[in-house]
């Protein structure tokens, strides 16, 4: 984290391979920047998302963060053809840490002290849907696909997504989305409270501006303290959450030859 001449914390906008960010007054825009892959995520993306959102702990100039994806998709989930990791894990502990990157990244978004708005177009699949759900507010478009394919792929849904989803929309719809890998469009996402608003694609940026203007127009300290209160209640409702074992569940599932074949691991 750098500081400007007045001593205020400023967000570094360079040094990320798969993200970029830009400040628009009190609005900070963070973009997944892999449009050629529809913003698919790999270990590097997860590390960078976690690092960036954790860095915002000392970012006091921004009043709201908009999290979006460059190009025609917010995020299609896991990169099925990832590049080799620049620092491949060599120990079992390191492999477990890599397996937990998705949960850490989602938690970093969820724990961000600045209100967050997800700008969701095209796809919110798997990890992309988990990212969006980690934001305080979500605005989407009618044609956007919201989809958690993990069970269809033979793996459990991890990243602490199940407790997060059930807190947002309730247990019954969560079972339908997770256990049955049920696909929904943006209008249904809004009807089910997966998203807060659904607008036509050409209206998406105007809608995001309405949300950010509303947040910025409210008393800053009251918004901050209220978000902190909601985070506390979320933690209370998550008692018994088994997501700390997510990395182990992922590695165990990948030992299944059928799962490994689906993900191109063997």
Domains delineated in the chain: 2-202+219-262 (3.90.226.10)
Q: Residue 39 carries which DSSP code? A: T
Q: For the segment 68-98, what is each residue's pLDDT rounded down to a tens digit? A: 999 999 999 999 888 887 788 889 888 888 8
Sign, CA torsion 33/38/44/47:
positive
Query: 168, 167, 150: which is closest to 159 by C-alpha?
Result: 150
Give the Cα separation of 38 and 34 in Å (integer): 6
- pLDDT values of the chain reduced to their tens digit, one per residue, 266 residues: 444 434 344 455 457 999 999 999 999 999 999 999 999 999 999 999 999 999 998 899 999 999 999 999 999 999 988 888 778 888 988 888 888 999 999 999 999 999 999 999 999 999 999 999 999 999 999 999 999 999 999 999 999 999 999 999 999 999 999 999 999 999 999 999 999 999 999 999 999 999 999 999 999 999 999 999 998 887 765 555 666 666 666 666 666 677 666 666 55
The label of the residue with tokens 């691991």 reads: 265
Query: 65, 68, 77, 66: which is closest to 32 by C-alpha?
Result: 68
Helical spans, DSSP H, in the chain: 43-55, 92-99, 101-110, 127-134, 150-153, 161-169, 171-179, 186-191, 204-217, 220-237, 246-254, 257-262
Give the Cα separation of 58 and 45 in Å (integer): 22
3-state class of 266 per DSSP?
coil
Q: For the segment 219-265, what is each residue's pLDDT rounded down to a tens digit? A: 999 999 999 999 888 776 555 566 666 666 666 666 667 766 666 65
Contact 38, 71 (CB under 8 A): yes
- Is residue 35 within a helix (H) or strand (E), and if so which, with residue range? none
Quote the tokens at residue 21: 């960010």
pTM for this entry: 0.86
């Amino acid at each position: 984290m750098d500081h400007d001449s007045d001593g205020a914390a400023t967000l570094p906008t360079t040094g990320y391979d798969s993200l970029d960010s830009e400040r628009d007054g009190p609005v900070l825009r963070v973009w997944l920047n892999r449009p050629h892959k529809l913003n698919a995520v790999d270990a590097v993306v997860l590390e960078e998302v976690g690092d960036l959102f954790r860095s915002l702990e000392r970012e006091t100039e921004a009043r709201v963060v908009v999290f979006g994806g460059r190009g025609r998709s917010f995020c299609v989930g896991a990169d099925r053809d990832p590049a080799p990791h620049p620092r491949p894990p060599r120990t079992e502990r390191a492999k477990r840490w890599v397996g937990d990157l998705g949960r850490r990244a989602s938690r970093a978004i969820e724990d961000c002290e600045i209100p967050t708005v997800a700008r969701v177009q095209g796809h919110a699949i798997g990890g992309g849907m988990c990212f969006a759900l980690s934001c305080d507010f979500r605005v989407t478009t009618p044609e956007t696909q919201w989809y958690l394919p993990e069970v269809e792929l033979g793996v459990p849904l991890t990243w602490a997504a199940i407790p997060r989803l059930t807190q947002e929309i309730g247990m019954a719809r969560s079972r339908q989305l997770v256990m049955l890998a049920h696909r929904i469009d943006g209008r249904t996402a809004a009807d089910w409270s997966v998203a807060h608003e659904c607008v036509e694609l050409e209206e998406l940026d105007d809608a995001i501006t309405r949300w950010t203007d509303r947040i910025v127009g409210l008393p800053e300290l009251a918004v901050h303290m209220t978000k902190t209160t909601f985070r506390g209640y979320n933690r209370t409702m998550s008692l018994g959450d088994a997501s700390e074992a997510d990395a182990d569940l992922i590695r165990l599932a990948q030992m299944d030859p059928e799962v490994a074949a689906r993900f191109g691991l063997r």
